[in-house]
Structure 1
């Protein structure tokens, strides 16, 4: 891994602390301590789950791609998984902010953008691993 990847991976690991702390907010939501409607409750749960899973998945992808035979394009595109870890949870949380929304707002586009980044990142990572594996 290069210097930028090492530093950014450290920063990403530190975000897991924030995600864990966000779990305490989710517990207050589920326990009724924070007034939200069912839409918000569902979106908050989805946002928290996606954040945790995608951050760890993004770091695993980064580690897998750290082989000399893996093409550079795959490493760059594989980091889209980490971008998805930002976009999707942000879309879930930000699209239902406010008092008693009846539906998600326009920021729900972040969910789709994150899903697109996730798919492209995973396909590029998988293809790069296959290419790298055949080069051994």
Structure 2
């Protein structure tokens, strides 16, 4: 993981939302296959996952794979969004997790973060 950032204070639900970016790792897959792999890995790591959305968006210079998964953790109903890019044979993934009750307050912010992310063309040092 290259970066993990938490909100400075818990949201209304009491859960502290966070965003994480994985460092670019080499991949030979095209975006749809990489997105499917990200979805499978994420779903396998969650408790009671429910895939709510899986799509590819045109974000200008690069397409981005998007998925949203509802799940549980420590008695909470959560939503995790994952945005993935494949640029110059490197895979980048941005993950964001919020409590379901806070999602309406954060969904636009999460999209703004994804739209502002510009995948580097080289892997970050880990």
Q: TM-score, normalised by structure 2?
A: 0.31
Which structure would you say has the larger Rg? 1
Q: Higher strand proportion, which one?
A: 2
